Each structure stands twice: as structure tokens, then as C-alpha cells.
Amino acid sequence: MSSRFSLTVVCLIVLLPFAVGIRLIPARITSVGGGGGGGNGFSKLGPFMEAPDYRNGKECVSSSVNRDNFVSSSSNDPSLVHIAMTLDSEYLRGSIAAVHSVLRHASCPENVFFHFIAAEFDSASPRVLSQLVRSTFPSLNFKVYIFREDTVINLISSSIRQALENPLNYARNYLGDILDRSVERVIYLDSDVITVDDITKLWNTVLTGSRVIGAPEYCHANFTQYFTSGFWSDPALPGLISGQKPCYFNTGVMVMDLVRWREGNYREKLEQWMQLQKKKRIYDLGSLPPFLLVFAGNVEAIDHRWNQHGLGGDNIRGSCRSLHPGPVSLLHWSGKGKPWVRLDEKRPCPLDHLWEPYDLYKHKIERAKDQSLLGFASLSELTDDSSFL
């Protein structure tokens, strides 16, 4: 590959053995496409168009992050909004669109700091993924951590969909160990989301009492369906969650207090349920059930507008779905169907067109130019409630 770039990489070892951190000092990569047989892997992942350079308004409190020399103490800056996401070759296009949407709607985009968790053995190396993120978002504040898959691989059991068995799906269990200790609070987002509202509003969620996480809850959902008959027929297991009034919540959007998480050893509590699952099958659905067993009934309820989930259909067919009634701040294509796949296959669902304007993938950008940029009017056309702001 004939691409030329100037990039300095500083690697450091995170204290605990769950991840290695890569910090990229901002630099502009002049090309990520190109031909040739270069080994950096960009041609397989991109090319992506460079995003607009979103800047803070005058009303924003200036962040103390030094983009030329990030140090962990800057994470204590109260003006920062910390967001954690996974980063891998399969969902890279979704991750790029998600970041783009966050920056585009953030009131103070320069105060958003992304923590990307990359798989150790992804087909594209974490360094290549890091460089591609930097070339797409030259001024982005971010850090990449390499997730050691052997941390969790022996705890994963088979699921109803193979994609749910990816070790990276379990990285959210280890955020308290992976992220710098100075990061005391974080928003976790799946890679198949877009925001259409200011992420600061979600960041300002107050976790009352001793609650560790906040998420939209769905108490009308049949909680029992997330566990097997073997769980409910066990003489002891159902009693462990009795009296909690548990409600379903989706783990793709969470506000997390990492101080309480670490103090409460919640990673170990999740692992205990995963270890039991290996001995006695008590659920079928990937990484979600352990979270339900540990936290359901003690979650800070966040407005449903912050996770309009299920837009990817079910886990088998990935069929089209409509928005839930009510306002919308975040759309989430959980389920089998992903908007970039359906758009490329020319069989999109109506809501997939709301994702498309955030897509920075170059080969598809001409189609986006033919449409107006995502406006709230187009969103209101697809929901019965236009009060989505």
C-alpha cells in the first residue's frame, strides 16, 4: 500500500492483565485506501471519509485534556464525557457511524473522550483499527485498549446466535479492570447505535443510592423467558432474585459508576453466573443474562428514549421493526439485522435510512449525498410521536 502517514504510538501496560492500552497521538493519515500489498490492512476495512471537525461552542467548559500527551490524571476533568465502545473489523462501520452521531449532536464534542476496546486476535490488528479511527476523526480524544480474549474465553457458553459468542461481547464485564483507574464513570454503547440527541443529557444521569448502573428498563417484558426451565426448576436459583422486582434492560446502553463497580467486585459476580452456566445451562442468550441476574431490580431507570432497541429484529430472522412509541434520543439495531448490511444488500428496512447519513464509508457516501442530512423531521415521519427532542 502506498499510503504515507506520520503517526507516533505510545504503548503502555494497564495495571491489571485484562488489556494493553494504545494511546495514539493525533496525526493526519493522508490516505487509507489505495492499492498495493501493504500490510496495514486499511484496504480491507475502508476507506472511510474523514468526518467534519466538530468543535466546542463558547458555552462549553474547556477540557484539560492535552491531545499531544494524554495522561490518566486528565480523566478526572469533570468536563469530560467518557464513552466506552468495542472496536473490531466486523462492526467497525457501525462503530464509526456511532462515533460520528455522538460528535454531531454533542453540545461540547471536544469534551467527549472515547475508550475503545479492541480484540487481541481480531483479523485487523488493534493498531490498524486505531490508525483508521484517527484518519477518520483526526481531532478525536480517544484511547484504545487491547482486550485479552483468554480472560473470558473459557467462561463463554454457546448461544442462540454465534455472533453473541464473540469474546468482545463480554468486554463490558471488564471495564472496571480495563479502563484507567482515574475513569470513575463511563457510558457504555454498543457499536450498532446512533444518537440523535446530546450525549451530555445521558451522561448527567444520577445513579441514586448505591446503584451501580443506569439503563432504560422494560418491566412489561416477560423476565422469565431469558432463563431456561432448568433455572426456574432449580430449588435454589430462583430464590436468589426473589423480592428484587426484576425488570429487563438492554446492556447496549448503560451509565456505569466504575468506582462502585470495582468496590463491589461486580466483574466477579458476573463471572460466577457464567461459571454456573458452564455446569448447568440456565440461559441461552449470550452476555445479557448474567447482567440481569446481578443487577435486575437495582438499576437506575433511564428514559426509554435513550435506547430504542430491537431495530435489528430478532436473533433469527433480523426482520424489520418500527420504533417504540415515544420520544427518541438513541436508536439501537440490536438483533440480527444491521443497517449497513441491509443497505449494501439493497433490502433496507425503513429505519435503516436514519442510520445511513452517519455512515462515513466512502463507497456508500454518494448515496448519502443524494439525501438530506438526517433531520428530525425524517425521524418524526417514522414514529407516531414527534416529541423526540
Place of cell 467497525: 92
Domains of the chain: 81-306 (3.90.550.10)
Give me the count of residues in the chain.
389
Alpha-carbon dihedral sign for residues 166, 170, 172, 177: negative
Dihedral angle, C-alpha 91, 96, 98, 104, nearest 10 °? -170
Q: pLDDT for 5-47, tens place per residue?
A: 343 333 333 334 555 444 333 333 323 333 333 444 455 577 8
Mean pLDDT, residues 304-329: 88
Q: pLDDT for 112-135, tens place per residue?
A: 999 999 998 888 889 999 999 999
Cβ neighbours of residue 369 under 8 Å, at least 6 residues apart? Answer: none
Between helix 288-295 and helix 266-279 the angle, nearest 10°, is 120
Distance (Å) of CA 174 to CA 48, 113, 262, 271, 296: 30, 18, 10, 10, 19
pTM of this prediction exceeds 0.85: no
Distance (Å) of CA 298 to CA 85, 216, 217, 238, 308: 23, 12, 10, 16, 21
Distance (Å) of CA 309 to CA 116, 189, 215, 324, 388: 22, 12, 12, 8, 15
Residue 26 confidence (pLDDT): 36
| pLDDT: which is higher, 180 or 70 | 180
Dihedral angle, C-alpha 32, 37, 38, 42, nearest 10 °? 30
Mean pLDDT of the chain: 81
Q: pLDDT for 200-236, tens place per residue?
A: 999 999 999 999 999 999 988 888 888 999 999 999 9
Q: pLDDT tier at 58 (50, 70, 90 boundaries)?
A: confident
- According to the per-residue pLDDT averaged within each range, which of 192-201, 242-251, 333-342 is highest? 192-201
For residue 348, pLDDT over 90 is answered with yes
Q: pLDDT for 294-309, tens place per residue?
A: 998 899 999 999 999 9
Mean pLDDT, residues 242-253: 86
Q: Which amino acid is at 68?
A: D
